[in-house]
Each structure stands twice: as structure tokens, then as C-alpha cells.
């Protein structure tokens, strides 16, 4: 973990209650590293990512991004718009437009000149190998293509902190490798931070620098990759690593 001077996001005393479930997160920080969030279904992974990215605003606690409070009840900073943060859902939705229109949408909202938008769209499309899809309607895409196009739409905006919710869930091996390599290259080149939720133990072991383990709404273990996998402390993590919970 990096030092406190590099912390870009900190969450404290986060509580989100549902009728049959409570997310309860004491304190944790993110810097410019690749973090993974592991845990079984229903443990609170998606809820936590939505809170940290500013999408969920009804909860108790504090989230600060680069020293500024993202949410405090109903008082979001920056008008509730966080261009430095991006959330990638497990099943991203594209608009019923061409792939090019989907990828360029956020850039047009920022009112960039047309030639700059075209340059950025071409660059990210080449990198993610979707240039041949740019004129195609998003409705005609396979689930894997949909996932890659949604990633292009996110990365073209160059966010500083990426929240990824099972981003490779619908991908074959080839596209999974492409997505992983692109994200790691992006993280290093932009000095960005990635917070990646997954069930995939092998993926976390290969890619993560630091791992959080969430169980029944609480982060009960965390640590650097080698220690996390070799010396689990809790019975819950030991069972999860053995494949007893998913």
C-alpha cells in the first residue's frame, strides 16, 4: 500500500441498510494501485462500488475523493457530477446508436472539438480492437462486444479512479486477456487507481496489488496478494478460497 500522501479516496463509517442486509464499512483507502474486491454473491460488492463512485447517495458515512467529500447525505460536491470517477457495471447498457456514437458520447458532453473527439475514438477503438464495429448499431453486438464497447466508452474519458463490477463476466478468454491488458496498461500510463470486484480468484491473484475480502456486508480481511492467498486468517476467507462459497 502506498503512503497517506498518495491516497485519492477514503471511506469512513459507511452504512447502507436494506430489509435483510446491511453494508457496514469502517475505514479504507485507495491510492494509485490495482485493488480487487473479493466476496461471494450478496456480500455487498456492487453496493460498495456504487457508493464509492457516487451513484448511490442514500447512506450514512463519508467518502472523500482527493480531499473533497463526494457525498454527505444530499450534498454532493461538484453538482453531483464526478468526471474523475467511472463505474463499470457487470451488465453495461449501450444506447441504441452506432458504436461510434456510444464511445464518443461522453466526449461530446464535454464539448470537445470534433477532430479531437474523432482522434480519441479512433485511438481507443484501435487499442480495444473494435474499429471494425464503429459503424455498427449497438443493438447488433454480441454480449462480449457490448462489454468491450462499454469499456471503450469509459476509458476514452480518462478517469482517475475506475470501479469495475465483474467486467469480464461475459467475455471469452481472448477478450478477457485484451480487457485485462488494456486496463493494466491504462492504470500505469495514467497513474490511475482501479477497484475491481470479481469472483475470479485466479484473476485477482494474477492482477491485483492489494485485495479486500467482503463478507456479509463487512470487509473482514485485506492485504497484499501473496499474504492474502497464502495466509488467510478468518474461517470465512479460508472457505471462500477453497471454493465452498461463491
Q: Are strands 218-224 and 210-215 parallel, antiparallel or unpaired?
A: antiparallel
Length of the chain: 246
Report the distance separating Cα 220 and Cα 135, nearest Å.
47
Q: Above 90 in pLDDT, residue 169? A: no
Q: Above 90 in pLDDT, residue 7? A: no
- pLDDT > 70 in the chain, percent: 92
Q: Above 90 in pLDDT, residue 68? A: no
Higher pLDDT, 122 or 80: 122
pLDDT in tens, 205-227: 999 999 999 999 999 999 999 99
Give me the chain's average pLDDT, please.
89
Report the distance separating Cα 243 and Cα 2, nearest Å.
31
- So what's the pLDDT on residue 198? 92
C-alpha cell belonging to residue 136? 455498427
- So what's the pLDDT on residue 28? 85
Task: List phi, psi (to 5°) of 173.
Answer: -60, -45
Indicate the SS3 state at residue 221: strand
- Please say whether the beta carbons of 35 and 25 come within 8 A: no
H/E segment holding residue 162: strand 161-165
- So what's the pLDDT on residue 65? 87
Which residue do the cell numbers 497513474 mark?
191
Report the distance separating Cα 12 and Cα 51, nearest Å.
12
**Could you tell me the domains of the chain?**
4-241 (3.40.50.300)
Indicate the SS3 state at residue 225: helix
- So what's the pLDDT on residue 82? 61
Report the distance separating Cα 136 and Cα 118, nearest Å.
16
Higher pLDDT, 244 or 109: 109
Helices (H) and strands (E) in the chain, counts: 8, 10
Amino acid at each position: 500500500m502506498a503512503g497517506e500522501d498518495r491516497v485519492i479516496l477514503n471511506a469512513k463509517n459507511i452504512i447502507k441498510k436494506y430489509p435483510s442486509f446491511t453494508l457496514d464499512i469502517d475505514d479504507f483507502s485507495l491510492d494509485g494501485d490495482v485493488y480487487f474486491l473479493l466476496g461471494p454473491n450478496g456480500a455487498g460488492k456492487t453496493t460498495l462500488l456504487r457508493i464509492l463512485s457516487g451513484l448511490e447517495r442514500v447512506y450514512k458515512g463519508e467518502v472523500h475523493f482527493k480531499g473533497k467529500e463526494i457525498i454527505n447525505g444530499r450534498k454532493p460536491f461538484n453538482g453531483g457530477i464526478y468526471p474523475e470517477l467511472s463505474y463499470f457495471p457487470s451488465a453495461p447498457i449501450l444506447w441504441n446508436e452506432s458504436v461510434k456514437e456510444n464511445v464518443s458520447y461522453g466526449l461530446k458532453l464535454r464539448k470537445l472539438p470534433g477532430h479531437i473527439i474523432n482522434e480519441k475514438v479512433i485511438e481507443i477503438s484501435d487499442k480495444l480492437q473494435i474499429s471494425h464495429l464503429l459503424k455498427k448499431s449497438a443493438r447488433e453486438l454480441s454480449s462480449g462486444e457490448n462489454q468491450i464497447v462499454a469499456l471503450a466508452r469509459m476509458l476514452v474519458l480518462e478517469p482517475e479512479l475506475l470501479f469495475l463490477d465483474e467486467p469480464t463476466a461475459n467475455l471469452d478468454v481472448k477478450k478477457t486477456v485484451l480487457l485485462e491488458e488494456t486496463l493494466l496498461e491504462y492504470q500505469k500510463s495514467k497513474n490511475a487507481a482501479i477497484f475491481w470486484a470479481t469472483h475470479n480468484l485466479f484473476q485477482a491473484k494474477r492482477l491485483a496489488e492489494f485485495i479486500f475480502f467482503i463478507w456479509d456486508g463487512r470487509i473482514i480481511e485485506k492485504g497484499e496478494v501473496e499474504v492474502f492467498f497464502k495466509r488467510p486468517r478468518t474461517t470465512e476467507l479460508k472457505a471462500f478460497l477453497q471454493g465452498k462459497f461463491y
